[in-house]
Structure 1
Amino acid sequence: MDTPTNTILTVLLGEYGFTHRSLADEVNQVSGRIFGRPGAATDRDVRRWISGTVRWPTGRYLLALAEIFDRPPEAMGFVPRGRTSRLPAPPSSVRPGQEEPVKRRAFLTASTATTLTLALRLEDTPVRGRLTMAHADRVAATIGRLDAHFTAIGGGALLTAATTYIDRLRNTVDGCTYGPRVEQALHRTLSDLYSSAGRAAYDAGDNATSRLHHTAALRSGILAKDGRVQARAWSGECHIGRRGVAVSVSVGTAFRRICV
């Protein structure tokens, strides 16, 4: 069985200007500062991380990579072994705040949201031409991968990526031609995407934006005639504290629901 390529790490190397060799050198330098002795990473190790041959590097390299790219392992495209994704604790002699501030500020310039958008290739979704169910299935898979990053990167970056893709899909819906099945599938995926954006906004502390996205999720779910995505939208509405009649949308017949 082929292992999936770590596209997120590939994009990070490009954003930060690393070659395989230079990233290995940087990992060794940072690892030496953390553990008191230089690491032994090589360009071959970096290639194995990118190819997916090694899906969860050893602790000394993970700690170094997390400092270099300023994000947890999952947000660098790594997949944990077993049930835990926790980074190992650095040696007790290393205390928080000992990082080199100038170097750390330099590494903070990359945008997590931009990295995620590029890695998921959101721009590949067509906005012109005839759409088939194969296109709709690929859109749904992309939204699933986007949603899977929620735990790793948190609400702010995910909200930016989700709203970027919402704009893309709205252009797809307006600019493409498709049959009834594809139309329903597009509304279904849009509802899921709006719900993801609503959850991300709530996580980022923006309840007003969260409500707007959950309301849009409900509208798209009704157009899709899909009870699952409608239930997800209602769940988000109720979770952020809306009580009473949440939304009433007319699409042929009125749809009303009480949050309790």
Structure 2
Amino acid sequence: MDAKRNTVLEAWMAEHGHSSNSLADAVNGALGRLTGRTGGLDGSSIRSWKAGRVKWPKSATRKALEDVTGLPAVALGFVPRGRTSLTPPPQEGPDMKRRTLFGGIAAAAAAAAAPGTSPRRIGMSDVDRLRTRFAEVIASDHRHGGQLGIEQKAATLANEALNLQNAGSATQRVRSSLYACAASFRSSAMWAAIDGRRYDDAKGHMREAQGLAEMSGDQAIKFRIWSHTGTMYRHMGRPSDALAANDVARNLHITRRDPLFASLGLARQSAIHGVAQDRTGTRRTFEQAQDAMLRADPADFRPVWMLAFYDQAELDSLGLSAYLALGDYQTAEFHAHRCLSALRPHMRRSLAITTTRLAHAQLAQGAADAATDTAMSVPADVATQHARVSRMLQEFGAALRATAPGSSTVQIWTEHTRDTWRAPA
């Protein structure tokens, strides 16, 4: 029997402008950073992936590919050994593949509702297509973060997932999975609004997401939504509400079953304690989060949103946030450098946030020149287009002017913001 083509990988490559040769070069470079030895992939290797002849790349190669794309291998259409394909691929020609993958969900619902047609059977292949779209939303968020377009796209996809509930017959498992998909998209819309400081919109998405998660019965997505809610209230300066919401996430059964979920809940709890100026709570919960992460089995199955972002770098990022809020700037700087040394390449938004927080920690310790150099390294597009980063950099500028008024460092910063951040004509 002929191998089934990996149309998911093909669609991702088309979306991101990669040829077989350019993707091979990118993965080889990532392999070099991982192992110290450049990989030996070429265009024919990638074509074997696309043709389905290689269904599950070797572990180091797979990790390098995940670093390049920001997505787990299963979200790119690869199938672990011993498992069947997650999504039966369509058989259209090359020019149709991307449209089939990214437009099939809405088209299926519309076709099912058309007069004179028999109700179709909604199955796990429809759910898998939604999950592929969700992986794309996650990857876009890590590249750009906080953008209104990401929020709107995720909300639209949540509605498409709900439309499928009425598009035909389905088993209870499929219906629960569709509610989980809708909750996942709505939680991403919520997170984009939080990241963009659009808190009223975030609360609306939160209420929708919570109801959908309850109907799905999915513990992982319930955790994500309540954990995001805690983060939202932390950013709003409401630590009591943040602790209450985060406690809902931490008390879910999934945190007792999987130490990685427990670790994330504790790490975010530590950041909330920092805002509340609870020094003992900050230190204790961060240490517990680190211990839980070390106990987590990396081989356990976890959802794509967790795999895409939570690791040692993110744990140190939350430690940086906690100790910066607490005013322990030396410890904050320590966690900033640890985070930056371990960040995966696709975490572009996180890189900008961590760099900006590092600049604040350095300035608070009296290192104005070093802090300014750090702040100036934040890419201009992120500095001007990401609401959270923009706000932190404005606060940095105000603190710099208060710390070293009239200095050459202030002049350098002023010229940098005027020349580099000027809106394009």
How does the TM-score come out when normalised to structure 2? 0.33
Aligned position for 1:213: 212
Tell me which of 173, 178, 185 is aligned to 1:193. Answer: 178
1:164 equivalent to 2:147? Answer no
> What SS is found at the alignment partner of 2:39?
coil
8 Å Cα contact 1:166-1:193 kept in structure 2: no
Q: Residue type of the partner of 1:210?
A: A
- Please list the CA deviations of residues 7-27 of structure 1 after superposition, one character each: whole Å capped at 9, or x if unmatched: 221111112211111211222
CA 1:8–1:51: 2 relative to 1, 3 Å: same
The aligned counterpart of 2:70 is 70
Amino acid of the residue matched to residue 81 of structure 1?
A: R
Deviation at 1:68, TM superposition (A): 0.9
Q: Distance in 2 between matches of 1:11 and 1:57?
A: 18
CA contact (8 A) 2:109 2:163 kept: no
Find the residue that maps to 1:40 and give its secondary structure: coil
Find the counterpart in structure 2 of residue 87 from structure 1. Answer: none
Contact 2:27 2:39 (C-alpha < 8 Å) held by counterparts: yes
8 A contact 1:117–1:161 mirrored in 2: no
User: Which structure is higher in RCO with an 8 Å CA cutoff and minimum separation 6?
Assistant: 1
Give the drift of 1:198. 3.2
Q: Which amino acid aligns with 2:208?
A: T
Between the two proteins, the alignment pairs up a number of residues equal to 179
In structure 2, distance between residues paired with 1:64 and 1:240: 30
- CA distances 1:56-84 after superposition (whole Å, capped 9, x unpaired): 1112321221111112211222112258x
> Aligned partner of 1:185: which letter?
S
Instruction: From the two aligned structures, give the one with the greater helix fraction.
Output: 2
> Aligned pair in 2 of structure 1 residues 195, 120: CA closer, same or farther (>3 Å)?
same
Q: In the alignment, which residue of structure 2 is the partner of 1:251? A: none
Matched residues in 1 for 2:215 and 2:54: separation?
Answer: 38
SS at match of 2:71: coil
Contact 1:120 1:142 in 2 (8 A): no
Matches within 5 A, 1:112-123: 118=101, 121-123=104-106
Residue 132 of structure 1 deviates from its aligned partner by 2.0
1:199-231: per-residue Cα shift (whole Å, max 9, x none)? 6657988752234336xxxxxxxxxxxxxxxxx
Residue 45 of structure 1 corresponds to 45
The separation in 2 between residues aligned to 1:192 and 1:167, in whole angstroms, is 13
Would the aligned equivalents of 2:20 and 2:47 in 1 still touch at CA under 8 Å? yes
What are the equivalent positions in structure 2 for 1:23-62 lying under 5 Å apart? 23-62=23-62
CA shift for structure 1 position 29 = 2.4
**Matched-pair contact (CA < 8 Å) for 2:6–2:49:** yes
Larger strand fraction of residues:
1
Kept in 1, the 8 Å contact 2:9–2:76? The answer is: yes
Q: Please tell me whether Structure 1 or Structure 2 has the larger radius of gyration of its CA atoms.
A: 2
Question: Compared with structure 1, are the counterparts of its residues 34 and 16 closer, same or farther at alpha carbon in structure 2 (3 Å cutoff)?
Answer: same
Shift of 1:119: 5.0
Contact 1:9 1:50 in 2 (8 A): yes
- What is the rounded CA distance, in whole Å, between the counterparts of 2:222 and 2:162 in structure 1? 26
Deviation for aligned residue 1:49 = 0.9
CA contact (8 A) 2:31 2:37 kept: yes
Aligned AA (1:8): V
Counterpart of 2:157 in structure 1: which amino acid? Answer: T
Counterpart code for 1:209:
E
Closer, same or farther: CA 18–208 of 1 in aligned 2, 3 Å: same
Alpha-carbon contact 2:157-2:185 (below 8 Å) kept: no
How much is the aligned-residue C-alpha RMSD, in angstroms?
A: 4.6
Q: Match of 1:132?
A: 118
Alpha carbons of structure 1 residues 3 and 50: separation in structure 2 relative to 1, 3 Å:
same
SS for the counterpart of 2:80 is coil
**Normalising by the residue count of structure 1, what TM-score does the alignment of the two structures yield?**
0.50
- Once the two structures are superposed, residues 107-148 of structure 1 have per-residue CA deviations (whole angstroms, 9 ceiling, x without a partner) of xxxxxxxx9994573243262634324xx12x4344332476
Structure 1's 81 and 172: CA in aligned 2 closer, same or farther, altered over 3 A?
A: closer
Using the alignment, how far apart are the partners of 2:216 and 2:73 within structure 1?
A: 32
SS at match of 1:125: helix
Mark the CA change 1:213 to 1:121 in structure 2 (over 3 Å): closer, same or farther. Answer: same
Deviations 1:25-67 (A, max 9, x none): 2222222232222211121110111122111111232122111
Q: Provide the C-alpha distance between the structure 1 equivalents of 2:218 and 2:70, rounded to a whole number of angstroms.
A: 30
Q: Distance in 2 between matches of 1:213 and 1:22?
A: 40
Give the aligned partner of residue 227 of structure 1. Answer: none
Partner residue of 1:222? none
